[in-house]
Chain A
């Protein structure tokens, strides 16, 4: 489970897609943030979609990482949409008191892409 883990970043239309399938820890999260920003620069992607449908626990740590990613991407002129929040995750997050500050969400990948397209056409 250590060091060689990586979260793949794929290209879809003119956006980047990363699906988090393994539990994030500090080191992996930092690498992930770095990889995403480098990919944004390299591909000149216009949007970023992060799929968290495979994550069964969204705690304050992962929330912080996601909020940071959205902020970093925003500094590079890229919009972020988090997709795939399961019902139980949404319920828990609200009760927990987490603020998804400045984060856009969508039900799934398809809706996330739609959201990016609407922004682009504006």
Chain B
């Protein structure tokens, strides 16, 4: 599933979609909330920093484990210093400065690629507990 993210309303659409998918897969309510909160931050990052972008939600499998993989991709200005951007308390968008780092803590896997002037790609995964 792919959701276009260009304005604030899309943030709600993206996180609701992620929550619905998580619920369908059988994630607990706490995991659904973790996923939805992380996606809310990633989608907000797109809106605040990127010009526009997408959130892609996919079911994945590894062995007998099921999980949810979510990509947040934008064509915004990119992040110059990723380490700094992941640090709590650092913000360039007027938020609380825990967005990216917080999203990382809520998920099991977190990868970020960014190129200044081209955009940012974030991939997060949450695995179901067997």
Q: Which residues from A are CB-within-8-Å of B96?
A: 60, 63-64, 98-99
Contacts of B44 in A (CB 8 A): 59-61
**B114, CB-defined interface residue at 8 Å:** no
Collect the chain B residues with CB atoms within 8 Å of residue A1's CB. Answer: 9
In the complex, which residue of chain A has the Cβ closest to the Cβ of B41?
A59
In the complex, chain A residues whose CB is within 8 Å of the CB of B105: 95-97
CA gap between A26 and B44 in the complex, in Å: 11
Query: How far apart are A22's CB and chain B's nearest CB, in angstroms?
Result: 9
Q: Which of A36-44, A72-80, A85-93 contacts B (4 or more CB under 8 A)?
A: A85-93
Do residues A88 and B33 form an inter-chain contact, with CB atoms below 8 A?
yes
A95 adjacent to B106 (CB under 8 Å): yes
Residues of B within 8 A of A96 (CB): 37, 98, 102, 105-106
Chain A 80-116, CB within 8 Å of chain B: the 1/0 string? 0000000111011001111100000000000000000
Given A97-B101, A97-B102, do A59 and B37 touch, yes or no (CB 8 Å)?
yes
The 0/1 profile, CB within 8 Å of A marked 1, for residues 34-73 of chain B is: 1011001100100000000000000000000000000000
Residue tally, chain A, CB below 8 Å to B:
23
CA distance A56 to B23 in the complex (A): 13
* B30 and A88 within 8 A (CB): yes
A57 pairs with B40, CB closer than 8 A: yes
| Interface contact A56-B98, CB-CB below 8 Å | no
Enumerate chain B residues within 8 angstroms of A87, measured Cβ to Cβ.
Answer: 30
Interface residues of B in 73-130 (CB under 8 A from A): 88, 95-99, 101-102, 105-106
Q: Are B98 and A60 in contact (CB under 8 A)?
A: yes
Q: Is A8 on the interface with B (CB-CB < 8 A)?
A: no
- In the complex, which of the residues B8, B30, B99 contacts A60, with contact meaning CB atoms closer than 8 Å? B99
Contacts of A7 in B (CB 8 A): none
User: Within the complex, what minimum Cβ distance (angstroms) separates A38 from chain B?
Assistant: 24
Interface residues of B (CB under 8 A from A): 8-9, 11-12, 15, 19, 29-30, 32-34, 36-37, 40-41, 44, 88, 95-99, 101-102, 105-106
